[in-house]
Structure 1
Amino acid sequence: MKGRNKGVQARLLEKNPRALYVPCGAHSLNLMISDAATASIDATSYFGTVQKLYNLFSASPQRWAILKDYVTVALKTWSDTRWESRINSIEAVRYQASNIREALLKVRKVSDPLTKVEAQSLAEEVGSYRFIICTVIWYDILHIVNHVSKLLQSPKMQLDVAVDLLTKAKTSLTNYRIGFTSAQVSAKDMCEKMNVEAVLKEKRLRSTKRHFAYGAADEPIADAMKRLEIIFFNVVVDTTIQSLTDRLKTLSEVRDQFGVLVNFQKLDDQSLNNQCDKLCKTLTSGNESDIDGKELAMEVKHLPSLPSDEMTALELLTFIHKKHFEELYPNLWVALRIACTLPVTVASAERSFSKLKLIKTYLRSSMGQERLSGLAIISINHEVGKDVMYEDIIDDFASKKARKQRF
């Protein structure tokens, strides 16, 4: 949470000026996709169409049964705060567009007049070349981001590794900036599977003259594909890259402050001393400092041979712990512990709150604090709970509650 002026960040810095602000990586990716989804009217309209598909089938058990007969992966809705659900929704459309269109045509035959009109409209939209190419583009973008998000939510994720993952995601999105042609090829293949004449559709789009409904100019663009590339593809991809760059900046700055702990083998003496002093200033408040910069530089220079030249902060910390070098390298030990405990995401903490909401529902409003805490601990540590022998616990509980005493 930012709160630079009067929020959480400001209050924490009042208590401890050495605290470092690290934005949640998973939330940054979520906001990045949200920015891209609202940057273009075509992008917003696309997600509205996908939501209409889900609403049409989920509103009736009969329609949902028809959908299940045609598809293997059902349509899904999404949450505004959990963007990962978007890729689950689009994945069903990406690989089952022809089946969804057939299900819509089947619904059109067996439904009331109002539903028939809606099903017919959605069938035409799903079969359109424009909708298919938007599906391909969104799926490719979300597929890149989804992989990074899952890795960032790992409990053992480290800040330096997280920055590298986000940098690679930015590189992949930058390379995809010229991927509109490949998206067209994939869209044509999907149209052919739906028995739709893709070339005819494209010619029809090219011959349609449309005007900008928004923007600075009202210039007609004859080539509808060029228009789609300019106002949809370029806008969405550029917004995603720019948003990721802005949100990656803070993480990179914090990573660079602790960079000497992982790249000291590549630095000369002068650069090593400068970066150690910089880290010392970061961890200093008034007359109190967690480490001594000069001593840290000396400790790093006299480290024994390491197992690898490319080690993360956690691997180096583990190495020092196994060799019992804590007292020999106290400044390095403290700096590594701080670096390894810098949070990358708040996913683990939020999972605990989500689980708490599932445990204490409105039907369990009278649950006491002790029972709630016990159930929460069991749920959070479910892997340990699976190994518990419930028969022994039941027998122990029964023996304590039994009125008859055994002599």
Structure 2
Amino acid sequence: MSVVIRYVKNGCILEHFIGVIHVLNTTAASLKAAIDQLFSTHSLSISNLRGQGYDGASNMRGEYNGLKALILKENPSAYYIHCFAHQLQLALVAVAQKHPKIETFFTIVHRLVNIVGGSAKRSDLIRENQRLKILESLSIGEISSGRDLNQEITFQRPGDTRWGSHYSCLINLITMFSTIVEVIEMIATDSTSTGTRGDACILLELMLRFEFAFNLYLMKKILGISNELSKALQRKDQDIVNAMKLVQICKTQLQTMRDDGWDSFLGVICSFCETHKINVPDMDDMFVTVGRSRQLNDRFSEANSDLLICVACLSPNNSFAAFDKFKLIRLCQSYPVDFDAANILELDDQLDTYIIEMRTSKDFEKLQGISDLAQKLVVKNKHEVYPLVYKLVTLTLVLPVATATVERAFFAMTYVKNRLRNRIGDQWLNDSLIAYIEKDVFYKIENDVIIERYQSMRTRREQL
């Protein structure tokens, strides 16, 4: 289990990896005991926790026996946020599985990956054919050469839990479409390809249909819009209010595409079909539409709880247009450990002065997001003038947006615990991961300090 802490220092949001823990099983009770042990090692306390975020697995987010519930029983102020990036991925997967034609399309894509990338020989054939096509395009001036241009492309399998993998797969499929068609034709006519010729023939027929091209570009467009959102959500300094705004922008883009994007979208598909000699049907024929999915709206409502509705009132956008004092007071009541009755009465008066200064001061114009507000409050020393408001802002910022930092920590293990160090112990693995992931922190430590620390660990024959 990988653990990352999120906190605010001088108005800036920071996320740092603090360790990886070897757990014997993944039950919520075992995970809770491991976290308690880790917190005790670092002199941290569950009582100071103000937010927790996971990827949505049942043992983590279970309402009664999940890790979230166990922590909330001990500390009701440790509010749970389902990772926004995982919610987005799950929404897209749910849409694809709910619509039979889209589910069929991705089944075809998976089979293409299995056949084309099913052996080293076919992968080499793809690369060689693509290389020859690039050389031909360069020779006739269709494409330009230069640094970082015309890089080698691989056709990788998309995964439901790998953010952006479906989008990358479809981009590469469009880029290498003619090459993949040629390779599929070779397999379909190769007498030595026993067992795969039948699949290759079926896939070739399906690929050269308008329906496949349509679904290919449709999902590329939808996943492209959501891919930008996914990347934005994975920023370490992202705050919860801005994340909600980004989700709304994504939904607006999808609605605009649905309402006004047909003509340009169809033009792109027809051009693609013409290039690859795919027949385009008559668009004036009768066609009956089926029900549309609303999964993105279902998973990303305007606010998932009363807490997020109140948090949105802190946003500085549009001259603090969302400010609502009564909702902010209600937000304080959600943190009884941090705001007692006297603090709430004091904040009631402090908010009146605060909002007048915020709306009239040029220093606080054009701020984007609560993280910008927090940093500006510290720069202008207003965090000392409005300490209760600043505390409310920091409590908002520590609410996790996505578990991207945790995912990166897991990915880093492939570099630290590699083939040559596959027997590395738990403690060494943990220490190596911290040094690798938090390299920016370790760069600030002087060599003399390291030498002195090493020398003082035990008596040595010689001084370094």
Specify the TM-score bucket, using the shorter chain as the normaliser.
0.7 to 0.9
For residues 353-373 of structure 1, what are the alpha-carbon distances to aligned partners after superposition, in whole Å with 9 as ceiling and x for unaligned?
343365346874643344222
Amino acid at match of 1:300: Y
Seen in structure 2, the aligned counterparts of structure 1 residues 143 and 56 have a Cα distance that, compared at 3 Å, is same
Deviation at 1:81, TM superposition (A): 1.2
- Give yes or no for contact 1:283–1:291 (8 Å, CA) kept in 2: no
Are 1:76 and 2:132 matched, yes or no?
no
The CA distance in 1 between the partners of 2:213 and 2:341, in whole Å, is 58
Unaligned stretches of 5+ in structure 1? 207-221
Query: Normalised by the size of structure 2, how large is the TM-score?
Result: 0.70
Deviation at 1:150, TM superposition (A): 0.3
- Give yes or no for contact 2:77–2:335 (8 Å, CA) kept in 1: yes
**Corresponding residue number in structure 2 for 1:212:** none
Q: Which has the higher helix share?
A: 1
Are 1:59 and 2:140 matched, yes or no?
no
Are 1:185 and 2:242 matched, yes or no?
no
The CA distance in 1 between the partners of 2:125 and 2:385, in whole Å, is 70
- Give yes or no for contact 1:144–1:169 (8 Å, CA) kept in 2: yes
- Give yes or no for contact 1:87–1:143 (8 Å, CA) kept in 2: yes
- Give yes or no for contact 1:280–1:290 (8 Å, CA) kept in 2: no
**Corresponding residue number in structure 2 for 1:95:** 175
Deviation at 1:301, TM superposition (A): 4.1
Aligned residues: 373
Amino acid at match of 1:89: C
Secondary structure class of the residue paired with 2:238: coil
Deviation at 1:58, TM superposition (A): 1.9
- Give yes or no for contact 2:239–2:371 (8 Å, CA) kept in 1: yes
Aligned-pair RMSD on alpha carbons?
Answer: 3.7
The CA distance in 2 between the partners of 1:113 and 1:367, in whole Å, is 43
Deviation at 1:183, TM superposition (A): 3.8
For residues 234-282 of structure 1, what are the alpha-carbon distances to aligned partners after superposition, in whole Å with 9 as ceiling and x for unaligned?
x5xx42x4333433344575443123323595569xx844233222222
Are 1:112 and 2:169 matched, yes or no?
no
- Give yes or no for contact 2:163–2:230 (8 Å, CA) kept in 1: no
**Corresponding residue number in structure 2 for 1:278:** 330
Deviation at 1:103, TM superposition (A): 2.1
Deviation at 1:328, TM superposition (A): 2.2
**Corresponding residue number in structure 2 for 1:308:** 364
Match of 1:23 among 68, 82, 92: 82
Secondary structure class of the residue paired with 2:82: coil
The CA distance in 1 between the partners of 2:236 and 2:307, in whole Å, is 19
The CA distance in 1 between the partners of 2:235 and 2:300, in whole Å, is 19
For residues 90-112 of structure 1, what are the alpha-carbon distances to aligned partners after superposition, in whole Å with 9 as ceiling and x for unaligned?
11222332232122223334443
- Give yes or no for contact 1:133–1:187 (8 Å, CA) kept in 2: yes
- Give yes or no for contact 2:251–2:296 (8 Å, CA) kept in 1: no
Are 1:38 and 2:97 matched, yes or no?
yes
Secondary structure class of the residue paired with 1:342: coil
Secondary structure class of the residue paired with 1:161: helix
Deviation at 1:113, TM superposition (A): 4.3
Amino acid at match of 2:374: L
Seen in structure 2, the aligned counterparts of structure 1 residues 98 and 389 have a Cα distance that, compared at 3 Å, is farther
**Corresponding residue number in structure 1 for 2:245:** 164
Unaligned stretches of 5+ in structure 2? 1-55, 131-151
The CA distance in 2 between the partners of 1:342 and 1:404, in whole Å, is 51
**Corresponding residue number in structure 1 for 2:408:** 351
The CA distance in 2 between the partners of 1:89 and 1:388, in whole Å, is 42
- Give yes or no for contact 1:78–1:86 (8 Å, CA) kept in 2: yes
Amino acid at match of 1:192: E
Seen in structure 2, the aligned counterparts of structure 1 residues 67 and 11 have a Cα distance that, compared at 3 Å, is same
**Corresponding residue number in structure 2 for 1:85:** 165
The CA distance in 1 between the partners of 2:182 and 2:423, in whole Å, is 50
Amino acid at match of 1:157: Q
Comparing both chains, which one has the higher relative contact order based on Cα–Cα distances under 8 Å and sequence gaps of 6 or more? 2
Query: Normalised by the size of structure 1, how large is the TM-score?
Result: 0.78
Seen in structure 2, the aligned counterparts of structure 1 residues 386 and 190 have a Cα distance that, compared at 3 Å, is farther
Seen in structure 2, the aligned counterparts of structure 1 residues 382 and 78 have a Cα distance that, compared at 3 Å, is farther
Secondary structure class of the residue paired with 2:383: coil
Seen in structure 2, the aligned counterparts of structure 1 residues 286 and 182 have a Cα distance that, compared at 3 Å, is closer
Secondary structure class of the residue paired with 2:176: helix
For residues 188-226 of structure 1, what are the alpha-carbon distances to aligned partners after superposition, in whole Å with 9 as ceiling and x for unaligned?
211111133x24xx25x99xxxxxxxxxxxxxxx84xx2
Amino acid at match of 1:276: L
**Corresponding residue number in structure 2 for 1:214:** none
For residues 109-162 of structure 1, what are the alpha-carbon distances to aligned partners after superposition, in whole Å with 9 as ceiling and x for unaligned?
444343333222222211111111110111111000001000100001111111
**Corresponding residue number in structure 1 for 2:313:** 260
Secondary structure class of the residue paired with 2:98: coil
Deviation at 1:300, TM superposition (A): 1.2
Amino acid at match of 1:307: D
**Corresponding residue number in structure 1 for 2:226:** 145
Seen in structure 2, the aligned counterparts of structure 1 residues 335 and 388 have a Cα distance that, compared at 3 Å, is closer
- Give yes or no for contact 2:316–2:373 (8 Å, CA) kept in 1: no
**Corresponding residue number in structure 2 for 1:209:** none
Amino acid at match of 1:328: V
The CA distance in 2 between the partners of 1:170 and 1:363, in whole Å, is 47
Amino acid at match of 2:401: V
The CA distance in 2 between the partners of 1:254 and 1:404, in whole Å, is 61
Deviation at 1:309, TM superposition (A): 2.7
- Give yes or no for contact 1:57–1:63 (8 Å, CA) kept in 2: yes
Seen in structure 2, the aligned counterparts of structure 1 residues 116 and 406 have a Cα distance that, compared at 3 Å, is closer
Amino acid at match of 1:5: Y
The CA distance in 1 between the partners of 2:233 and 2:158, in whole Å, is 20
Seen in structure 2, the aligned counterparts of structure 1 residues 288 and 387 have a Cα distance that, compared at 3 Å, is closer
The CA distance in 1 between the partners of 2:117 and 2:376, in whole Å, is 54
Deviation at 1:385, TM superposition (A): 6.7
The CA distance in 2 between the partners of 1:249 and 1:273, in whole Å, is 20
Amino acid at match of 1:151: A
The CA distance in 2 between the partners of 1:299 and 1:15, in whole Å, is 36
The CA distance in 2 between the partners of 1:10 and 1:406, in whole Å, is 53
Q: Percent of aligned pairs with the same residue?
A: 22
